[in-house]
Amino acid sequence: MVKQSMPAVSTLGKEGLEEFKTADDVVLVGFFSDAESNATFTKVAEFLRDSFLFGATSDLELAKAESVTPPAVVMYKKFDDNKLEYGGDFEAEDIISFAKVESMPLVGDVSQVTYMSYMQSGLPLGYIFAEADGKAELAKLATPIAKKYRGKINVATIDVVPYGQHAENLNLKQEWPAIAIHDIANNLKYTYPQPGEVTESGLFEFFDKFAAGDLKPTIKSQPAPETQDGPVYIVTANTYDEIVLDDSKDVLIEFYATWCGHCKNLAPKYDELGSIFWDDEELRSKVTIAKVDTPENDVPDEVAGFPTIKLYPAGDKSNPIEYSGDRTVKSLADFVRDNGKYGIDGYAIYEKKMAEKKAEDETDAEGEKHDEL
């Protein structure tokens, strides 16, 4: 909120610059002599104003004193290299990337304050779980690796006292120290061997293999059911591709958690929806209704909360559509109809069958009544 209340770019003089350098953990200052570069920098500042403080000056003597030639952007930090000049093309997108990457400490620390910054960076995150008395030594051990993969992999320690349970989310045992790399973009986890001694050579081998694509992810998966008895397909991490990415079918999948109250309320309606498609052989050949216990299975989907429901249309699996409507059987069936490849109106077919069954039951009841007479 403080950053939002300030102008996107503060105009700086000599005295103002010295004070501004330490106004926050990371600040960016532009040195300009032309309007175009100034406009580019202002565009960057508007985009990142929630994250950083931005200042600018057109004072050439001030630029000279800072040993920079306009146009220039300099990052001032309270850690690592205190001063870092941007050296790329003067394009907004490139400067934004510079700001996001270089604002992270070489070997940082994961906490409630910094966690979202790491997630939003989009870069893989190398976690070093350690007890308080061993964090500094492990951070020093990891520094050469952090330098080598700067801008490609973030590296950070994490205190096991408040955050040790997070190791299980990365498929690690709670045995310290522990190392894992989380490929955030693809939600894949790679674990350093446990138990085992953490050495600089071992860390280099681990990170080098990951960077080269030679490391296999550690997949957390429940056992797959031997048979799918319906009406809702049970998906696990190991069967995800086979079921959800079946290109011949529209697949509606619910990402749920067993502890989620909203998921429990949805369950009977979701089963009813599954029955509409499961009980009709033709519909079953084109539409799959599925669910996955997300905390117990590593899935490549971004899930912000539970339940999350997405449709993966046949022939277009790379563009899933997230459901945001009412959690009723009809609304869910209409969503499959309107967004699936086949446009099947499952609920209309279901209603027609129910009406036919009702009429048939009434006819049978009338016949029984005549027989009694």
Say if CB 9 and CB 45 are below 8 A apart: yes
Q: Which residues contact 239 (CB under 8 A, 6 or more apart)?
A: 224
Q: Give catalytic status of residue 66 as yes or no.
A: no
Q: Which SS3 state, helix, strand or coil, does residue 191 take?
A: strand
Q: Which residues pair with 322 in a beta bridge?
A: 310
Element (H, E) at 126: strand 125-130
Say if CB 128 and CB 79 are below 8 A apart: no
What is the distance between the alpha carbons of residues 189 and 219, in angstroms, rounded to a whole number?
7
* Per-residue CA distances from 302 to 2, 54, 127, 305 (Å): 30, 32, 20, 9
Catalytic residue among 263, 290, 292, 336: 263
Q: Which residues contact 136 (CB under 8 A, 6 or more apart)?
A: none
Q: Give catalytic status of residue 256 as yes or no.
A: no
Catalytic residue among 84, 219, 234, 260: 260
Q: Which residues contact 58 (CB under 8 A, 6 or more apart)?
A: 31, 32, 33, 38, 70
Active site residues: 260, 263
